[in-house]
């Protein structure tokens, strides 16, 4: 049971951070519109949370080693972790100017990812800095790629 919660939570929060950061950076770069960025975060929080939850559900079913209850716990914990953590990115966007909100969101997301990575490394009894750096590097690649993709789209379709 506990593994089911851990599976859903760790997947949901990581996906919520990476996907939402990529989305807000890309949408900001392409549109510079607070309304578009808020709409994107809401869309990710709802549609992608359901999508990831279903993905975990099917993945767990395909392993043929989990009970129905364990599968549903993983499914629901994925959905709620993804939804809740994606929604936290709306707070700075609503309270701050968009550029400042994007920077605050990046700091918030990378900080959360660093904390999760630290605890994961401790559980695995490996050096935390390696796990943290690996996960932060992946997040930074996503941020850079979506930034440039957003700029490219913004230049082509204005």
Give CA 13 to chain center in angstroms: 6
Distance CA 157, CA 20 (A): 23
The whole-chain average pLDDT of the chain stands at: 95
pLDDT band at 133 (very low <50, low <70, confident <90, very high): very high
Q: Does the model's pTM come out above 0.75?
A: yes
pLDDT in tens, 39-52: 999 999 999 999 99
Neighbours of 65 (CB within 10 A): 8
Residue 106 has pLDDT above 60, yes or no: yes
Domain edges within the chain: 2-156
pLDDT in tens, 63-102: 999 999 999 999 999 999 999 999 999 999 999 999 999 9
pLDDT band at 1 (very low <50, low <70, confident <90, very high): low
Q: Six-digit token pair at 9?
A: 């939570």
Q: Which of 20, 63, 58 is nearest to 41 (CA)?
A: 20
């Amino acid at each position: 049971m506990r593994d089911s919660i851990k599976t859903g939570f760790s997947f949901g929060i990581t996906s919520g951070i990476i996907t939402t950061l990529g989305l807000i950076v890309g949408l900001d770069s392409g549109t510079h519109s607070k309304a578009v960025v808020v709409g994107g975060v809401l869309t990710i929080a709802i549609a992608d949370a359901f999508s990831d939850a279903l993905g975990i559900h099917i993945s767990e079913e395909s392993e043929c080693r989990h009970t129905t209850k364990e599968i549903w716990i993983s499914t629901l914990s994925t959905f709620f972790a993804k939804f809740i953590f994606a929604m936290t990115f709306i707070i700075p966007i609503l309270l701050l100017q968009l550029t400042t909100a994007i920077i605050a969101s990046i700091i918030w997301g990378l900080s959360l990812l660093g904390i999760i990575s630290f605890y994961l490394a401790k559980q695995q009894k490996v050096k935390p800095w390696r796990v943290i750096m690996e996960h932060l590097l992946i997040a930074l690649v996503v941020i850079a790629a979506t930034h440039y993709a957003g700029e490219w789209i913004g230049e082509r379709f204005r």
